[in-house]
Amino acid sequence: MIPLLLIPGLMCDRTVWEAQIAALPDVAECTVPDHGCLDTLEAMASAILENAPPRFAIAGHSMGGRVVLEVFRQAPERVQRLAIFDTKYQPLPSGEAGEQERAGRYKLLEIAKSQGVRAMAQEWVQGMVHPARRTDPWLIPAIVEMFGRKTARIFEAQIHALLNRTDAGPLLPRIQVPALILCAREDSWSPPSVHEEMAARIPSSKLVIVENSGHMVTMEQPSAVSRAMREWLAA
């Protein structure tokens, strides 16, 4: 059985991976790290490596995908398999696009500080799930409660990490282990086109696009994600 590190994204915890943990106990021993208040991707990756077994598989969702790439950069010899879901690899854009991203993130941070993290999550989640799931009586409360277990201080630290991200593009051709690149068809934040670019640059990769899902694909379409992960772990 392979050790499998499941890396959560922005303000997420074990909840985002619960369905996959439940679906893969016969093939993977799953661990979900907590980023705490670490405020750089480099520090998050270093903390994961300090507590990880000598060799492991690793999968990351959203910001967690960026952390996975940083783990590989720091210790490629320890990574047996690599998976990145609904993420990007580019640095903060220059010019207006970068300023818009910065402003949007800090607007949400201000809501978290002034009205509470749950209020921020209620606004954030509307753009991060499939349009048909925006009033889902299970999915939306589960995401909001997950965010609510974090604090505005943690949110600020993770925003800092994302705004100061480096370009992982040069790293992609160096990934020679079995790699799963997965995203949701309707993910407006990390669209399929970005994942197609990554898959084209990673020699050993397989691209999977999941239908009828937004950004929170591990929770929105858990069975499809788990099937893809089982195939990846067996590759």
Find out whether 159 and 113 touch, Cβ atoms under 8 Å. no
Q: What pTM did the predictor assign?
A: 0.95
Q: Residue 41 has which token pair? A: 């991707």
**3-class state of residue 18 by DSSP:** helix
Task: Give the torsion through C-alpha atoms of 207, 81, 217, 145, to 10 deg.
Answer: -170
Locate tokens 């950069």: which residue? Answer: 73
Full strand arrangement of the beta sheet holding 205-210: 28-31, 2-7, 56-61, 79-85, 179-184, 205-210
Q: Which residues are paired to 3 by β-bridges?
A: 29
In this structure, are residues 112 and 152 in contact, taking their beta carbons and an 8 Å threshold? Answer: yes
Task: Please state, in angstroms and as integers, the Cα–Cα distance from residue 166 to each residue in 95, 169, 204, 209, following that order.
Answer: 16, 9, 23, 25
Nearest 5°: the CA angle 195, 144, 192 is 10
From the centroid of its chain, how far is CA 228? 16
Q: How far apart are CA 131 and CA 133, in angstroms?
A: 5
Q: Please list the alpha-helical segments (H only) found in the chain.
A: 18-23, 41-51, 63-74, 95-115, 117-125, 139-148, 152-163, 192-201, 217-220, 222-234
pLDDT tens for the 235 residues of the chain, in order: 899 999 999 999 999 999 999 999 999 999 999 999 999 999 999 999 999 999 999 999 999 999 999 999 999 999 999 999 999 999 988 889 889 999 989 999 999 999 999 999 999 999 999 999 999 999 999 999 999 999 999 999 999 999 999 999 999 999 999 999 999 999 988 999 999 999 999 998 999 999 999 999 999 999 999 999 999 999 8
